[in-house]
Amino acid sequence: MSGASRSVAEIMSQPVVTASGAQSVADASARMREQEVGSVVVVDGDRPVGILTERDLVRMSAAGGAPTDTVAQWMTADPDSVAPDVDAVTAFATLAEHGYRHIPVVDDGRLVGIVSMRDLMRIAQIQPAENLAHEVPRGLEGVVVAETRIGDVRGTEGFYHYRQYNAVELAETRSLEDVWYLMHHGELPTMPERAAFAAEVRSLRCIPAEVQSALPEIARVASHAPPLDLLRTTLSLIGAALGFRPSLDLSAVELHEQAMRVCAVVPTLLCALYRLQHDLEVVEPRPDLAYAANYLYMMSGDVPSAEHARGVEQYLISTIDHGFNASTFTARVITSTGADLVAAVVGAIGALSGPLHGGAPSRALDMLDAIGTIDKADAWLRDAVERGDRLMGFGHRVYKTDDPRSVMLRSVAERLGGPRVELAKQVEQAAIDVLAELKPGRKLYTNVEFYAGVVMDTCGVSRDMFTPTFASSRVIGWTAHILEQAADNRLIRPSAQYVGVPPPQPVPPAG
């Protein structure tokens, strides 16, 4: 290891970001975010008495702690420390052995710095896989795998944001095109920028002629396939027809142009496939209609009411991005190989199609239909959970409190009215009660998918188009991440812990 001769004092970070035990966890985690560090050392004067790490925050959220809890309640008390004159190899071994990511540097009882696994790896090119594999949580829960400026989700606070803005506020006050601009340019558009952007993206809505002419045959061959599967296939075809090249070989400007093209064409492609599958004539996009109104128009052939267009638009805005969800991560992994932009989007569509990710809203509506009336809800839900089924539209990897998207969509559903809203609200409460009783401590609440189905159904989106509609907005988020990954790329190539039969076993003779 090349860092063997360097001491901890030479590589440690200072000043250390500290907190007091009496401070609230919310304050401490805000400080961690501001300072871009993964832990704070809890001090009494200049003496370290504990450490609060991102992992403690995950533990706290899983155990139902509140942001108002004190740091002392959730910190790891009396943390191990390292002396400044210890060499980097020994410090690395201590971190790896205990599974720590950060270790305070203490000289004569006084806190003088902090050394992180990242610091050590930066100087030492250590291969940590075999030492660290045991500490990776299943499903990578809580593991930070990248830095991003696009947005984030704060699970314990029930808050998420796009760039610097509260995403729910954007969905309540802005158009989809404004938020699309924000995701790709980092700022909301000024009035002239808004007009120029609308003109730019509306002109990109048309399907390339060579692909358009192949669509009827594709829809015929796979007439019963979910529209999302057909989107995957036909988007691949568009990438090939337009000659999309590996992102590694493209400039940021070229990649941005491709991203705009793909985001603009996805709704058109989806609606064309949907109509062809239903033996209907394809409806061309209308440049005078804004995104959501045009989407509903291309799907149904009728210009929607302003209320329905706005309801769908709010849903679309609220689902553009959501932290490092499975499909976004997939898009970034594929981009990290330098593959072309469409390859990354197609991979992301595959990830989104799973019921544990984006495939839930139609199932949530199916559940409402199966329950039928509120008097049957408790028994139906209880039975499902006792059987080991998951209630679709409930639970979330990150949110351990209300999903802000479900809160917003509930109010959109109430505003729009419709036959299912009252039943949905009552079933929601019954489901939360049943989950609290049968899955205590898991903190299972309504997620985005529950009211998504209700809203889309009221606005005339058919059930098989729910997840595709989700994809048509999420592609804006995926491509923002693709561009960010490509702009500062390193191949994402993690490791796994081998737990199979110990090798090498003798290879038996063939035959």
Ligand X SMILES: CC(C)(COP(=O)(O)OP(=O)(O)OC[C@H]1O[C@@H](n2cnc3c(N)ncnc32)[C@H](O)[C@@H]1OP(=O)(O)O)[C@@H](O)C(=O)NCCC(=O)NCCS
Nearest distance, CB of residue 442 and ligand X, angstroms: 4
Strands (E), 137-179: 151-154, 159-162, 165-166
Nearer to ligand X, 314 or 319 (CB): 319
Q: Taking each helix axis as running N to C, give the angle between helix 252-277 and helix 291-300, from 0 to 180 degrees, rounded to the nearest 10.
A: 30
Q: Is 258 exposed, middle or buried (0-12, 13-18, 19+ CB in 10 A)?
A: buried
Of the candidate residues 444, 461, 482, 483, the single one contacting ligand X (CB under 6 A):
444
Q: Which residue in the list 396, 428, 437, 484 is annotated as catalytic? A: 396
Nearer to ligand X, 435 or 483 (CB): 435
* Closest residue by Cα to residue 484 from 265, 328, 322: 328
Residue nearest to ligand X (CB): 395
Nearest distance, CB of residue 431 and ligand X, angstroms: 8
For ligand X, which stretch binds (CB under 6 A), given 67-75, 92-100, 282-290, 440-448? Answer: 440-448
* C-alpha–C-alpha distance, residues 294 and 173, integer Å: 19
Nearest distance, CB of residue 376 and ligand X, angstroms: 18
447 near ligand X, judged by CB under 6 A: yes
* C-alpha–C-alpha distance, residues 59 and 424, integer Å: 32
454 near ligand X, judged by CB under 6 A: no
Beta bridge mates, 116: 102
Q: Which residues inside 339-358 make contact with ligand X, applying CB under 6 A?
A: 356
503 near ligand X, judged by CB under 6 A: no
| 172 a catalytic residue | no
Of the candidate residues 320, 385, 455, 480, the single one contacting ligand X (CB under 6 A):
385
Nearer to ligand X, 97 or 383 (CB): 383
262 near ligand X, judged by CB under 6 A: no
Q: Which residue in the list 308, 428, 449, 481 is annotated as catalytic? A: 449
392 near ligand X, judged by CB under 6 A: yes
440 near ligand X, judged by CB under 6 A: no
* Closest residue by Cα to residue 356 from 403, 409, 392: 392
3-state secondary structure of 98: helix
* C-alpha–C-alpha distance, residues 478 and 486, integer Å: 12
63 near ligand X, judged by CB under 6 A: no
DSSP 377-438: HHHHHHHHHHTTPPPTTB--SS-SS--HHHHHHHHHHHHH--TTHHHHHHHHHHHHHHHHHH
434 near ligand X, judged by CB under 6 A: no
Binding mask 133-152 for ligand X (x = CB under 6 A): ------x-------------
Q: Is 86 exposed, middle or buried (0-12, 13-18, 19+ CB in 10 A)?
A: middle
317 near ligand X, judged by CB under 6 A: no
Nearest distance, CB of residue 335 and ligand X, angstroms: 23
Of the candidate residues 33, 110, 278, 442, the single one contacting ligand X (CB under 6 A):
442
* C-alpha–C-alpha distance, residues 84 and 9, integer Å: 5
The pair of structure tokens assigned to 475 is 């592609």
Residues 6+ apart with CB under 8 A from 349: 228, 231, 232, 235, 327, 471
286 near ligand X, judged by CB under 6 A: no
Q: Are 401 and 423 in contact (CB under 8 A)?
A: no
Nearest distance, CB of residue 466 and ligand X, angstroms: 12
443 near ligand X, judged by CB under 6 A: no
Q: Are 423 and 367 in contact (CB under 8 A)?
A: no
Look up residue 139 and give its DSSP letter. Answer: G
Binding mask 107-126 for ligand X (x = CB under 6 A): --------------------
Nearest distance, CB of residue 363 and ligand X, angstroms: 8
Of the candidate residues 112, 343, 360, 377, the single one contacting ligand X (CB under 6 A):
360
Of the candidate residues 152, 321, 340, 449, the single one contacting ligand X (CB under 6 A):
449
Nearer to ligand X, 62 or 290 (CB): 62
Residues 6+ apart with CB under 8 A from 273: 215, 218, 219, 227, 230, 231, 234
Nearer to ligand X, 354 or 417 (CB): 354
Q: Are 101 and 16 in contact (CB under 8 A)?
A: no
For ligand X, which stretch binds (CB under 6 A), given 3-11, 17-25, 266-274, 387-395? Answer: 387-395
* C-alpha–C-alpha distance, residues 37 and 29, integer Å: 9
Look up residue 272 and give its DSSP letter. Answer: H
Nearest distance, CB of residue 398 and ligand X, angstroms: 8
Nearer to ligand X, 179 or 435 (CB): 435
* C-alpha–C-alpha distance, residues 399 and 367, integer Å: 22
Nearer to ligand X, 139 or 508 (CB): 139
Q: Which residues inside 228-247 make contact with ligand X, applying CB under 6 A?
A: none
Nearer to ligand X, 11 or 391 (CB): 391
| 396 a catalytic residue | yes
Which residues are annotated as catalytic?
396, 449
Q: Which residues bind ligand X (CB under 6 A)?
A: 139, 356, 360, 385, 390-397, 435, 439, 442, 444, 447-449
